[in-house]
């Protein structure tokens, strides 16, 4: 198996254990590059991985997949910080957990970050989806 993405695809999705990225998309090992973080957010590190995948590993399509019932959605940074501070007894100031109260706006914003990155080609195909953890449905998100 080659180190490139056989289907020219990179998938950015959440760390949620209910998500099996390859099965979710009907893929198998070697088909896609998989990037995971809490909330499926386009962070500096996720963008770094995408830049490498596109420029060095055969990726020409990017799929950003958030999901229903995500712990990072429908809450604020302050709420996340308070929960962690209560559990750990430490100050969380300076940490950005990227919580959101508007999942679709956040997903569209993150897709735009990929499209606007100067280290990625302007013709890179970028799509966004929300995976329903209960039904298994993968719902495309429009750009409007």
Q: Structure pTM? A: 0.95
Give the start-end residues of each E strand in 5-142. 9-13, 32-36, 61-67, 125-131, 138-141
d(CA 105, CA 78): 19
Write the pLDDT tens digit of every residue in 76-89: 999 999 999 999 99
pLDDT of the residue at 122: 96
- Residue 1's pLDDT band, with cuts at 50, 70 and 90, is confident
In words, the CATH class of domain 9-141 is alpha beta
């Amino acid at each position: 198996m080659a180190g490139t993405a056989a289907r020219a695809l990179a998938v950015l999705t959440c760390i949620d254990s209910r998500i099996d990225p390859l099965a979710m998309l009907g893929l198998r090992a070697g088909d896609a590059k998989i990037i995971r973080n809490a909330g499926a957010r386009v962070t500096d590190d996720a963008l770094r991985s995408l830049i490498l995948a596109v420029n060095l590993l055969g990726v020409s399509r990017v799929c950003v997949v958030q999901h229903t019932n995500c712990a990072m959605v429908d809450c604020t940074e302050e709420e996340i910080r308070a929960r962690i501070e209560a559990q750990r007894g430490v100050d969380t100031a300076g940490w950005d957990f990227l919580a959101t109260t508007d999942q679709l706006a956040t997903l569209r914003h993150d897709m735009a970050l990929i499209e606007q990155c100067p280290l990625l080609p302007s013709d890179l195909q970028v799509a966004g989806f929300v995976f329903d953890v209960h039904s298994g449905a993968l719902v495309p998100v429009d750009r409007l």
